[in-house]
């Protein structure tokens, strides 16, 4: 893989970027070797890209379950640790326990959803990465790896499709 090279093609709009992705696939670049970087969320079907996997919903469910257990521990466990009968209620009354369990379940779910974004996106990460600031100005970058033999033909094909520039993707400090 020593002769592989990372290139960054910059497009003004989604349509030429989608055409470029299709062209790259036709020229033998696999989906694993392509990444699209954009300043707005561009969905996979728009670009003809495979569905992106995310663990965020599963982490949210796991967090909700953990929160539920904490809620049960607070509402049911603590009265057992130090029994005090309050207001003529049973030691473990159901309706008030539901409130505590609900709040802790929601807190667990939301915190784990938040942390899920950090885990899945590997945030924070301040090491140098392939990026150019024009992306946050609305341009769309197609980042891909190809062999040096194919570089010339790919660059020329992407320019025909409307690439504003096709440059070596250099990692830079964000």
Partner 1 sequence: MPEMVDTTIKTPDEFSEHLMFDPLPRGKMNDMVMESMQITSWKFWVVAGFLGMVVLVCLFGAWGYLINEGLGVAGVNRPAYWGIFLVNTVFWIGISHAGTFVSALLRVFKAEFRRPFTRAAELMTTFGLVQAGLSIFMHMGRVWLFYFLAPYPNERGLWPNFHSPLSWDFLAITTYLLASTMYLFLPLIPDHAMARDRSKGWRKTLYRTLALGFRGTEGEWTHLRTAMNIFAFAILPVMFSVHTIVSWDFAAAMRPGWSSTIFGPYFVIGALQSGIAAVGMVLVVVRATMKNMKYFIRLEVFDSLGKLMLIISMSWAYFFFNDYLVQWYNGDKFTDILLHFHESGPLGWMWFMMLIFNIVIPWALLWNKKIRRNPAILFTIGLLINVAMYFERYVIVPISLTINRMPFTWRLYKPGIEVWLSLGTFAFFVLLYMLASRIVPLVPVWEVQEGQMAHSLRKVGKATVPAVSELE
Binding footprint of partner 1 on the chain (CB under 8 A): 35-44, 46-47, 49, 52, 54, 56-57, 60, 74-75, 78-79, 81-82, 84, 86-87, 89, 93, 96-97, 99-100, 102-104, 106-107, 109-111, 113-114, 116-118, 120-127, 129, 131, 133, 135-138, 174
Query: What minimum distance in Å lies between the beta carbon of 76 and partner 1?
Result: 9
CA distances from 105 to 58, 78, 81 (A): 14, 17, 22
Q: 5: burial class by Cβ within 10 Å (0-12, 13-18, 19+)?
A: middle
> 67 or 161, CB closer to partner 1?
67
Peptide bond before residue 124 is cis, with ω within 30 degrees of 0: yes
> 2 or 103, CB closer to partner 1?
103
Query: What minimum distance in Å lies between the beta carbon of 8 and partner 1?
Result: 11
Spatial separation of the C-alpha atoms in residues 67 and 102, rounded to whole Å: 9
Query: What minimum distance in Å lies between the beta carbon of 110 and partner 1?
Result: 5
Q: DSSP class of residue 162? A: T
In terms of Cα–Cα distance, which of 27, 21, 26, 59 is closest to 43?
A: 21
According to DSSP H, which parts of 9-138 are helical? 14-26, 44-47, 56-72, 78-81, 94-121
Query: What minimum distance in Å lies between the beta carbon of 79 and partner 1?
Result: 8
> 83 or 149, CB closer to partner 1?
83
Query: What minimum distance in Å lies between the beta carbon of 104 and partner 1?
Result: 7
> 84 or 149, CB closer to partner 1?
84
Q: Which helix (H) or strand (E) holds 166?
A: strand 165-168
């Amino acid at each position: 893989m020593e002769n592989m090279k990372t290139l960054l093609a910059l497009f003004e709009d989604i349509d030429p970027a989608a055409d470029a992705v299709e062209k790259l696939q036709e020229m033998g670049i696999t989906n694993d070797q392509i990444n699209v970087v954009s300043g707005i969320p561009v969905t996979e079907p728009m670009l003809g890209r495979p569905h992106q996997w995310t663990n965020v919903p599963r982490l949210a469910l796991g967090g909700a379950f953990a929160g539920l257990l904490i809620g049960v521990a607070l509402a049911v466990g603590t009265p057992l640790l130090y029994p005090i009968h309050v207001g003529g209620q049973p030691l473990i009354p159901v309706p008030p326990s539901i409130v505590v369990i609900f709040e802790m379940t929601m807190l667990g779910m939301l915190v784990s959803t938040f942390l899920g974004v950090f885990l899945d996106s590997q945030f924070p990460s301040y090491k140098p990465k392939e990026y150019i600031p024009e992306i946050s100005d609305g341009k769309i970058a197609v980042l891909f790896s190809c062999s040096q033999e194919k570089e010339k033909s790919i660059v020329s094909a992407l320019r025909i499709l409307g690439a504003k520039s096709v440059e070596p993707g250099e990692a830079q400090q964000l």
